Amino acid sequence: MSLWVGDVAGIDLNAMAGSTLIETLGIEVVELRDDALVARMPVDHRTVQPAGVLHGGASVALAETLASWAGYLAVDRERFHVVGQEINANHIRPVFSGWVTATATPAAIGRRSQVWEVRIIDEAGKLACISRCTLAVIEQRSSYAAAAERSSG
């Protein structure tokens, strides 16, 4: 049984990334499973720190992006929206190049809050970062949209 609410097949999360930090960092959703959402991010000039390794902030941005998208898919989007409330991350090992892949799975899905675990692995499948993100579920139609559909003010 899927944890997603309603028909999610037609939702293009990658199209919503245009003109955002998500696009700038090169984050892209690669898989929607019944029980998880998966995305990847390049380890390149946009996402490394001066020492040449994946920046911890880029990992956190990937984790919060993925948790927020997962939370968005797990609510009735006509009635609710999700917003980040708290995030933590443990950076386990450095990544120097290639891609990292993140998988978001629910730790708790409630009526007013959600908690998502996001595991980020390197191309060898080794854990690079583990994060937990808490989302608040607010009673407001979701405002996620592609760049052309967003209001400018």
Report the half-sphere exposure of 115 (CA within 13 A, side-chain side): 5
- Separation of alpha carbons 85 and 122, rounded Å: 27
**pLDDT tens, 14-59?**
999 999 999 999 999 999 999 999 999 999 999 999 999 999 999 9
Taking a C-beta distance cutoff of 8 angstroms, is the pair 133, 116 a contact? yes
Q: Which of 23, 31, 64, 78 is catalytic?
A: 64
pTM: 0.96
Taking a C-beta distance cutoff of 8 angstroms, is the pair 70, 95 a contact? no
For range 95-114, the mean pLDDT: 98
64 part of the active site: yes
- Residue 20 φ then ψ, to 5°: -135, 175
Task: Rounding to the nearest 10 degrees, give the CA dihedral for residues 25, 132, 146, 21.
Answer: -30
Report whether pLDDT(103) > 80: yes
Predicted pLDDT at 1: 82
Report whether pLDDT(113) > 80: yes
Mean pLDDT, the chain, whole residue set: 96
